[in-house]
Structure 1
Amino acid sequence: MIRDEAQARAFISEWGGAEAIEKLEALGAALREENERQNLVSRGSLDTMWIRHFADSAQLLTHVPRGTQGAWFDLGSGAGFPGLVLAILRPEQPTVLVESRRRRVDWLEAMREKLALEKCEIEGKRLELVESRKAAVISARAFAPLPKLLSLSSRFSTAGTYWVLPKGRSAAQEVSELPKAKRKLFHVEQSLTDEEAGIVVGRGRIGAAK
């Protein structure tokens, strides 16, 4: 379990070198400034952002093999977690951040440019309006209840798609309430940043809702 900011930095250093840490520090400084203009994250979380936002995002990498080819789709990226962090730590992998709120989109685009995230793409529209394409990985943090999330994103999935979905305390319950055909694709992993939180992890294609 990651319990303090120093441990969070050490954990993230396993996934990215000095350049990645420098970019995360720049992201953190920009986040503090922008949070005065719009409520990107809770004010109280800024003092522990390396745990609450950076390590919480980076831990998703433990569930996706290194070298996974194809685009990583992050749905409802909001302030950029986990999407921006993943784009920083895996700069060689295309990352697609889907966000419909205009001010959040402006923020994400500004950070993509500021941090020189060349393979990071911002889809500034509702997920329903994003053109269908295949995702190697799909993540979503506080985006929608699991059944709705899977229904909306099914058309992006393939037999090889990895799903990594932080779900907090409701993870196990949300999986248990899925239809059997979908439920068998998923399990819950313990979050490394919150003893009471879980991450819904799975692999496979989700059939379109009937």
Structure 2
Amino acid sequence: MDNNNEQQAPTIFWRIDEWFPDLSPETKTRLKTYHEELIKFNRTVNLISAKTILVADALHFADSLLAAKIITQSHPQIDKIYDLGSGNGFPGLVFAIYKPTTQVVLVEIDQKKCEFLQHMISTLGLKNVTVENKNVEALGDNTVKFAITRGFANISRTILAARKIMPKGGQLFHLKGEEWGIEVGEIPSQLCSIWSPSLVGEYKLPVGAVKFGVVKTEKIA
């Protein structure tokens, strides 16, 4: 009896070309290569949860792309942005692929994840990305004007970690799920005197009905 059908590996989806037809061929190719390398490296380095591997195109790539579109369209003046706690490269590496004219700095304390990020930069031939293998707090005082973060920490802990590295007027973009409003409401009052939170935009993934939000905290003092 042939059991091959029973032993077939589950399908790992890739639907970015279908969902984002406006992307350039070079951008699509780079994103696909990133996806392939991510799946390969995930066997030895814990980059994404095993539960998200099959639909990483939606949960990681589409999520980062949609957020990058919102940020770049609402803040076209950004020429350099830091990805705090970059880890697997979401959203910073996707941002860099999508917007090659913007300099992106991936900040990550884990050495193995930094090695993966450096591998991706080299493999994709990206000239606009650098990696900083250090803690967020170790970045220079007042050196980070724009930053983005996804899955690093809740909003309160993130702005606390960024309090010295961002100057007055610095803007930090948080990629959050549908309960972003709860996190904003939990920001301690003493931090609200230093940071002003606002919603930049909301979006839905190409699959599912859950709303996601890009929340900005601007340093006002």
Shorter-chain TM range is 0.7 to 0.9
Question: Residue 117 of structure 2 corresponds to which residue in structure 1?
Answer: 108
Instruction: Report the 3-state secondary structure (helix = DSSP H, G, I; strand = E; otherwise coil) of the residue aligned with 1:22.
Output: helix
In 2, are the aligned partners of 1:70 and 1:136 still within 8 Å (CA)? no
Question: Residue 66 of structure 2 corresponds to which residue in structure 1?
Answer: 59
Instruction: Report the 3-state secondary structure (helix = DSSP H, G, I; strand = E; otherwise coil) of the residue aligned with 1:64.
Output: helix
Question: Residue 202 of structure 2 corresponds to which residue in structure 1?
Answer: 190
In 1, are the aligned partners of 2:70 and 2:200 still within 8 Å (CA)? no
Q: State the superposition RMSD in angstroms.
A: 2.4
Instruction: Report the 3-state secondary structure (helix = DSSP H, G, I; strand = E; otherwise coil) of the residue aligned with 2:54.
Output: helix
Instruction: Report the 3-state secondary structure (helix = DSSP H, G, I; strand = E; otherwise coil) of the residue aligned with 2:27.
Output: helix
The reply to whether residue 117 of structure 1 matches residue 126 of structure 2 is yes
Q: Which runs of 5+ in 1 are unaligned?
A: none
Classify 1:55/1:5 alpha carbon distance in 2 versus 1 (closer, same or farther; 3 Å): same
Instruction: Report the 3-state secondary structure (helix = DSSP H, G, I; strand = E; otherwise coil) of the residue aligned with 1:77.
Output: coil
Instruction: Report the 3-state secondary structure (helix = DSSP H, G, I; strand = E; otherwise coil) of the residue aligned with 1:47.
Output: coil
Question: Residue 174 of structure 1 corresponds to which residue in structure 2?
Answer: 183
Where do residues 90-109 of structure 1 align in structure 2 (5 Å cutoff)?
90-109=99-118
Measured in 2, the distance between the counterparts of 1:186 and 1:68 equals 18
Measured in 2, the distance between the counterparts of 1:85 and 1:146 equals 22
1:34 Cα offset (Å): 0.5
In 2, are the aligned partners of 1:161 and 1:204 still within 8 Å (CA)? yes
Deviations 1:41-91 (A, max 9, x none): 112322212211111101112332444233111111111111111111111
Classify 1:146/1:38 alpha carbon distance in 2 versus 1 (closer, same or farther; 3 Å): same
Does 1 or 2 have the higher relative contact order (CA < 8 Å, sep 6+)?
1
Percent of aligned positions that are identical:
25
1:167 Cα offset (Å): 2.3
- 2:44 alignment partner AA: R
Classify 1:5/1:107 alpha carbon distance in 2 versus 1 (closer, same or farther; 3 Å): closer
Where do residues 1-210 of structure 1 align in structure 2 (5 Å cutoff)?
6=15, 8-14=16-22, 16-66=23-73, 67-158=76-167, 161-178=170-187, 179=189, 180-181=192-193, 184-187=196-199, 189-193=201-205, 195-202=209-216, 204-207=218-221
**Is the deviation greater in 45-54 or in 16-25?**
45-54
1:189 Cα offset (Å): 4.0
**Is the deviation greater in 187-196 or in 84-93?**
187-196
- 2:71 alignment partner AA: V
- 1:85 alignment partner AA: V
Classify 1:120/1:133 alpha carbon distance in 2 versus 1 (closer, same or farther; 3 Å): farther
Measured in 2, the distance between the counterparts of 1:13 and 1:182 equals 41
In 1, are the aligned partners of 2:145 and 2:171 still within 8 Å (CA)? yes
Q: TM-score, normalized by length of structure 2?
A: 0.80
**Is the deviation greater in 29-38 or in 191-200?**
191-200
- Higher CA-based Rg: 2
In 2, are the aligned partners of 1:72 and 1:138 still within 8 Å (CA)? yes
